[in-house]
Amino acid sequence: MKKVAVALSGGIDSSYTAYLLKSYGYEVVGIYMKLHDAVDGYHEKNLKKIKNVCENLNIPYHIVDMSKQFKKDVYDYFVNTYKDGLTPNPCVKCNRYIKFGALIDKAKELNCDTLSTGHYVKTDGEFLYEAADKQKDQSYFLSQVRQKNLKFLYFPLSDQTKEYVKEQAKNIDFLRDISASNESQEICFVSNSYIDILNKHYDTNTKGNTIDKNGKIIGTHKGYMHYTIGKRKGFEVYGALTPHYVLATFKYQNSITVGDKNELKKNIITIDNLNMFINEKEFDSEVRLRYRSAKEKCTVSIKNQKAKIRLKNTAFAVANGQYAVLYQKNKIVGSGVIINSELQDDIW
């Protein structure tokens, strides 16, 4: 009998995944990761649900403290990236280093053949693919997972929809209450605003200058860490009659550059920290520049461990620090961190 470790969070997706695995005849072992203590009562609430699920399924579960690695690879990265005036994506980091890195090692320690989670994503052991439920698809967040680790993963919800999972769970006594629970917060250690986290480490409320693209001071703002690319509120522009948008932030000057919406247009993007699933150095693709954004047609050329992405159409508010994920149809072929974006004429 195949032994499967399932990552349990206390939510409906992972709980239903455990239920499915047991019904398929696998030997199932639950693992709960303690990643942080940022939210009061967080673990107690989750573990109460997990204990109930595992008792009803008659499966063991293990509590694993990964807080030190999480702090180093995810939390500190999150804080430092905002400090640098960039926009982080902690979930991508967590999936690479924790959930589909350190957790795989733990599953192997427990002599498991496979690690399973409640993510909505597909894999064939070589590539990642979008899930059937396009509204809940999480392939973007897994795009930096090492290709060698994919063969150890199994996602039972890849062909399910969230709506179907919740409906099925309503008919299972010990899952009914969980199915009615609210969705988990987007970033597990952020209860309200990312600024609340940053304020624990820095004085984010240091007033600075709002400038235009020529460097002219045209207003003030409350501190550069409050702003991400494309934001249009929370700063002052003297005598403004039209909307202004954040085009860039500068930590050393504690300034932000603003302009009109058209100045947010970009069609050439450079990425590094590449995680490629194919060997080609030049290819046609589509790219998703942030979670929930539409995929844009593009060409990709790779040289010196960086990729240059040329968009067929312009994209708005491309943020350095976010991830560009490359797709061919519904298959991920690679990803990387955005380090530069610009607008050029006649690139096609």
Residues noted as catalytic: 94, 188
Single-letter residue type at 289: L
DSSP state of 226: G
Entry field: residues in the chain: 348
In angstroms, the CA 21 to CA 1 distance is 12
Contact yes or no for 187/196 (Cβ under 8 A): no
Contact yes or no for 246/232 (Cβ under 8 A): yes
Contact yes or no for 176/169 (Cβ under 8 A): yes
In angstroms, the CA 268 to CA 341 distance is 6
Q: How far is CA 301 from CA 17, 85, 281, 283, 293, in A?
A: 39, 27, 6, 7, 22
Element (H, E) at 47: helix 42-57
Single-letter residue type at 248: A
Beta-bridge partners for 29: 5
- For β-strands 128-129 and 122-123, DSSP reports them as antiparallel
